[in-house]
Structure 1
Amino acid sequence: MAIKLLKRLGDLLVENDIVSEEQVQQALDSQRQTGRKLGDSLIQLGFITEKQLLTFLAQQLNIPFVDLNRAQVDIEAVQLLPEVHARRLRALVIAHKGNQVTVCMSDPADLFAQESVLRILLQYEVKFAVSSERQLVSGFDRYYRRTKEIASFAEQLHAEHQSTDSFELNLSDTADSDEVTVVKLINSLFEDAVQVGASDIHIEPDENVLRLRQRIDGVLHETILNEVNIASALVLRLKLMAQLDISEKRLPQDGRFHIKVKGQSIDIRMSTMPVEYGESVVMRLLNQTAGVRALEESGLPDDLLIRLRRQLKRPHGMILVTGPTGSGKTTTLYGALTELNSPSKKIITVEDPVEYRLPRVNQVQVNSKIDLDFSTVLRTSCVRIPISSS
């Protein structure tokens, strides 16, 4: 069902004392020169903030305002609106339950865009919401997947080795060539993972299929490939990248390597495990370019954020951060360290492993082979009189 403003946006903003008539007139003059929408012109001229405008639109249209940085987005629902239309209409499907879908738009008062969305999603009951255009554009890049590209490379790799159930790659072929299909497939896997903000990639061979799973915001999302026989090629190539023993398939192995994905620097922590149908691989992705998130970007509810900051200001004590894999423990701890970090404080951390490099922080990597463990570092740290240890 379409929604619309009862009056022109400029008149409504003036009536509600958000901007003056003179400011609206200046914005209209700017609009005629630039072709921007009135709301964009008001923001560009500094008469109103984007959040003020979006909150006002949400109230006038009686629809919710959604902060996509905090919202739980259903990645499968996103695909209901093809990417080309999503980008053109500035619309993102974020939820799907039964016959109802929720669609975020940057300008839900745009009747043409509304009607286009309703026409494409004709079989659904559409509920509209308003979101920041900047967050929507970021969402397009993050949620529209490379699954078709990955499936295509998997089919190509399978076709190249169709005569065998499992195969090994020629090591000379995998050394440098980006033209080798398995390299293209792995590059596509990493690009997709970085695009959607995945923290982990799982490669799991099953009896008849190969499962590729990505952990996004703590939840695993699965892609199934029918070309199960390509698993050995994937694992072999990844072992070479992590400098693991490619002949050892009976024991778990751990390694690491570094890659560049679209200009972003990514550290990969990799572990292999022998399973019934081959070897499974888990890779943890640490985006060094993105850096450490501030505490307010960690997703903590406002009340918990206030309580945590209050504890961080105390002169002594201990904070325990617990939770399952991918729940945000590392993000929270590094955010807290960033908040504490200043030239006037001495901070020592004991980490296994060191995931992000922080200026001024003395970060110690645990090494059990030489008995450099937490207790050893803690004893030494007490002598150095740090302000904080973690």
Structure 2
Amino acid sequence: MALRRPKQQRGAGLVAADGEGPAALPDEGAIAVADATEAIAVPVASIPTIDGLPTPTGLLGEILVEQGAITDAALEEALVRQQESRERLGTVLVEAELITPEQLTAALAVQYGLKVVAVAKAALDPAVVRVLPEELARELHAVPLSKAGAAVAVAVADPARPGIFEEIVGQTDETIAFSVGLPEAVDAAIERAYHTSAAVSDAVKVFEARASERAPTATVAVADVDANAPVVQVVNTILTQAVRDRASDVHIEPMGDRVRVRNRIDGALHEVLSLPQGMAQALVSRIKIMADMNIVDRRRPQDGQIETVIDGNELDIRVSTTSTQYGEKTVLRVLDKARALYDLSTLGMPPETEEMYADLIRSPYGMVVCAGPTGSGKTTTLYATLMAINSDEINVMTVEDPVEYTFPTINQISIHEQAGVTFSAGLRAILRQDPDAILVGEIRDVETARIAIQAALTGHFVLSTIHATDATSALHRFLDMGIESFLLASSMLAVVGQRLIRRNCTECVGPYEPSAEDQAFYERAGGKPKDTFMKGHGCEACSGTGYSGRIGVYEVLQVTDEMRDLVVRNAPVDEIRKLAIDQGMVPLRDQALRLVAEDVTTIAEVIRTIYIL
């Protein structure tokens, strides 16, 4: 609901914009949500108001019964408890675990005719944050999100709090578009808003003030990257927030009317900042200077590297820029050595799978390949494998693009195609260096595949990765490249298929009701029967996402004599997969469903990450 306070009177004469009625009911154990800006365009003119403010249109208990969240008997029981405790009905119901926080939020949205917003995924505009003082935002559990058109989107956790709308509207002359968010997600957004966004806000104001004093020229961005420039503070804040969010990548994207900053956290992108479009080129120039890149060339894609220390953590940041329709887009790959996993026991393999894999990698020769999409943790698995076999008695060498983490006892070669150092060339050079174990970062072409297989056949232990959906399809990927089946069968020890799946946040995990579609998938896929499913409901610790950290999901296909026979005769994928399962391979799907049964993750996350029937 969009509201505006006339300038001549504080808190009176409020004007309500047209808007939409009831919010969507819970879906997949949560609530259907909208983007922050959607709350602005939702008609609510039909909702009765006092002075234009949202007011309740029904009883909360009756709404919950109508939604099917509770029964009449449960409501009566809760009302008795409420009379005894003098607490509000919603609090009583949630504390008694009769409803979930999502169900309460959805019901409150219906009661007040507001939209439910995905606060955890909403952009935070530094300029908009100033609409509410931090102390008041924390007191009211309300957070300004962004501005679209003439209205500022403000999410509240509890629309039933007496006087909340009057207090917020009384703070500003802006038109306010109210919406409802999960309490934990709103509180987490407040933390983000008044730390990262507020810090950036001051720098943005200084930057815009300086820019307004100059005529716009092509040299403005370059001139604005001195050590004391506001853009330096903004870039430092972006990097610091990325480290604190445990982000693997940072995307800085010019959008035409603004610059969007998103962090990839546990495999999913989350918008963390919205900056003025006028800062776009200054941001890129600052990052290019840090990465020793060409700040004048804005058309060609460029790559660079930044080594820095943030919050006591040594970081290796890989920088990639490319030109888009609105300017240069920048992606930062954040490699935090302190968070790297180099121990097989920390990867998430089930004990029986880890034991089998540990036995396989004791072989003095042969080839082990990790298969999966980009970002599935293949390199981490290879590094952990190297650490398991490395010793002073063997010569371990790698060829990578690029070298992501350095090890003092391993000889690592970085790809440099302009200098002629490709995977195949690097691998040939390694074979002349008396290696015992070789890591090839990725098999991209038939030439590299042939050299790697030949190395495995001539007494070397070879580790590598390949892009394939699972372990069985990886074998056919080699055949599709043109590798002879008898060479593949003779050299391959095992193929590891893997994914990374998000863990439920341990701070806010609780019961939920999966959607009918999710439940049907779980049963059809052979999931272990459960009375109660668990998920994270969103809190400050997980930035309102419900997930914190990731765990590996693995399947290990061991190439036995029977499997070699199938490979040699180029058997179909289904036949290879059936034999692998008969011989003890636990498929990715089954491993993931086990994590659901153990309340480590959710059905929706399994579908998003794997979905292999």
Q: Give the TM interval when normalised to the shorter protein.
A: 0.5 to 0.7
User: How far off its partner does 1:358 sit?
Assistant: 1.0
Could you tell me which residue of structure 2 aligns to residue 17 of structure 1? none
Alignment of 1:52-131 (within 5 A): 76=120
The answer for the alignment partner of 2:330 in structure 1 is: 281
The worse-fitting range, judged by mean Cα deviation, of 215-224 and 146-155 is 146-155
Number of the residue aligned with 1:23: none
Per-residue displacement from partner, 1:85-117 (whole Å, max 9, x unpaired)?
xxxxxxxxxxxxxx9xxxxxxxxxxxxxxxxxx
Question: What is the aligned counterpart of 2:211 among 161, 170, 185?
Answer: 161
Q: CA deviation at 1:148?
A: 3.9
The corresponding residue for 1:150 is 200
Partner residue in 2 for 1:378: 427
Aligned counterpart in structure 1 of residue 284 of structure 2, from 235, 238, 252: 235
CA distance in 2 between counterparts of 1:382 and 1:354 reads 19
Deviation at 1:210, TM superposition (A): 1.1
User: Are the aligned partners of 1:264 and 1:289 in contact in 2 as well (CA < 8 Å)?
Assistant: yes
Deviation at residue 304 of structure 1 after TM alignment: 4.5
Residues 1:345 and 2:389 aligned together? no
User: How has the CA–CA distance of structure 1 residues 311 and 147 changed in structure 2, closer, same or farther, with 3 Å as cutoff?
Assistant: farther
Separation in structure 1 between the aligned mates of residue 376 and residue 119 of structure 2, nearest angstrom: 18
Mapped to 1, the partners of 2:352 and 2:250 lie a distance apart of 32
- Give the distance between the partners of 1:228 and 1:310, measured in 2 at CA: 55
TM-score using structure 2 length: 0.38
- Does the residue aligned with 1:76 lie in a helix, a strand or coil? helix
Task: Flag the 1:226–1:349 CA change in 2: closer, same or farther, 3 A.
Answer: closer
Instruction: Read off the aligned partner of 2:388 and give its amino acid letter.
Output: E
Output the amino acid matched with 1:76. Answer: A
Pairing 1:161-240 to 2, within 5 Å after superposition:
161-162=211-212, 168-169=219-220, 174-175=225-226, 177=227, 179-240=228-289
Partner of 1:255: 304
SS of match in other structure, 2:369:
coil
SS in 1 for 2:380: helix
CA contact (8 A) 1:298 1:328 kept: no
Aligned with 1:319: secondary structure?
A: strand
Q: Using the alignment, how far apart are the partners of 2:353 and 2:394 within structure 1? A: 25
Check whether the contact 1:205–1:277 (CA below 8 A) recurs between aligned residues.
yes
| Greater displacement, 280-289 / 227-236 | 280-289
Number of residue-to-residue matches in the alignment = 264
Contact 1:268 1:284 in 2 (8 A): yes
Which amino acid counterpart does residue 387 of structure 2 have in structure 1? T
Letter in 2 for 1:315: P
Which structure is larger by alpha-carbon Rg, 1 or 2? Answer: 2
Counterpart pick for 1:323 among 363, 367, 372: 372
1:226 to 1:376, Cα distance in 2 relative to 1, 3 A? closer
State the shift of 1:310 in Å. 3.3
Contact 1:215–1:326, Cα closer than 8 Å, also in 2: no
- 1:254 counterpart letter in structure 2: D
Cα drift, residue 167 of structure 1: 6.5
CA shift, 1:75, in A, is 9.9
Q: Deviations over 1:144-196 (max 9, x none)?
A: 97344334433443343246778744757634x2x321111111111111111
- Distance change in 2, residues 1:125/1:331 (3 Å): same
Deviation at 1:333, TM superposition (A): 1.8
After TM superposition, give the deviation of residue 290 of structure 1 in Å: 4.6
Consecutive unaligned residues of structure 1, counting only runs of 5 or more, are 1-61, 63-73, 78-83, 85-98, 100-122, 127-140
Return the offset for 1:211: 1.0
Q: Write the letter of the residue equivalent to 2:383.
A: Y
Identity percentage of aligned residues: 34
Deviations 1:277-332 (A, max 9, x none): 01000111122355553233334555554443333223322222233443322222
Say if 1:213 and 1:220, in contact at 8 Å, map to a contact too: yes
Partner of 2:368, secondary structure, is: coil
Q: Which amino acid is the alignment partner of residue 243 of structure 1?
A: D
1:357 to 387, 397, 406: 406
Aligned to 1:95: none
8 Å contact kept, 1:145–1:196: no
326-335 vs 346-355, which deviates more? 326-335
C-alpha distance in 1 between matches for 2:351 and 2:195: 31
Report the residue type matching 2:323 in the other structure. P
Q: CA deviation at 1:263?
A: 2.2
Partner of 2:19: none
Alpha-carbon distance in 2 for matches of 1:377, 1:246: 31
Code of the aligned partner of 1:161: A
Does the 8 A contact of 1:208 with 1:228 survive in 2? yes
CA distance in 2, matches of 1:299, 1:156: 47
CA deviation vs aligned residue, 1:24-49 (integer Å, no higher than 9, x gap)? xxxxxxxxxxxxxxxxxxxxxxxxxx
Equivalent position amino acid for 1:188 in 2: T
Q: Measured at CA, do residues 180 and 262 of structure 1 come closer, stay the same or move farther in structure 2, by a change above 3 Å? A: same
Distance in 2, matches of 1:230 and 1:166, equals 13
Partners of 2:182 and 2:291 in 1: how far apart? 47
**What whole-Å deviation, never above 9, does each CA across 1:339-377 have from its counterpart, x for those lacking one?**
221112221111111121112211112222332222233
- Counterpart of 1:265 in structure 2 is 314
- Does the 8 Å CA contact 2:221/2:282 hold for their aligned counterparts? no
**What is the SS of the residue equivalent to 2:318?**
strand
Query: Where does the alignment leave 5 or more consecutive residues of structure 2 unmatched?
Result: 1-96, 98-117, 122-134, 136-156, 158-180, 185-190, 440-613
8 Å contact from structure 1 (residues 348, 389) kept in 2: yes
In 2, distance between residues paired with 1:385 and 1:218? 38
